Chains A and B, each alone.
Chain A
Amino acid sequence: MTRNFALFPLMVVITLISLPLMVMYGFLILDTVTDAPPGALWPDEFTLRHWRFLWDMSAAGNVWKATLNTAVLALSMVAVVVPVSSLAGYAIARLNLPYRRFFLGGILVMHAFPAVTLLIGVFFVLKFAGLYNTMIGVILVKGALMLPFGIWIMKGFYDAVPWEIEMAGVQDGASRLTVFRRLILPQVKPGLVALSVFAFLDGWGEYLLPRVLAPGSDMTVMSVLLNGLIAGDDIGYDFNLFKAVGVFYTLPVIALFAIFQNRLMTIFGGGTKG
Chain B
Amino acid sequence: MDAILQQFFNWGVMAQALPLLLKGLGMTLLICAVVIPLGALGGLLAALASTAQARALRWSAIAFVDLFRALPPLVLLIFIYAGLPFAGLRLSPFAAVTIAFFLNNSAYFAEIFRAGLLSVPKGQAEAALSTGLTPAQTLIWVRLPQATRNVLPDLLSNVVEIVKLTSLASVVSLGEMLHAADLVRSVTYNASPLILAAGLYLLLLWPLVRLIGRFERRIAG
Asked if A pairs with B, the answer is no
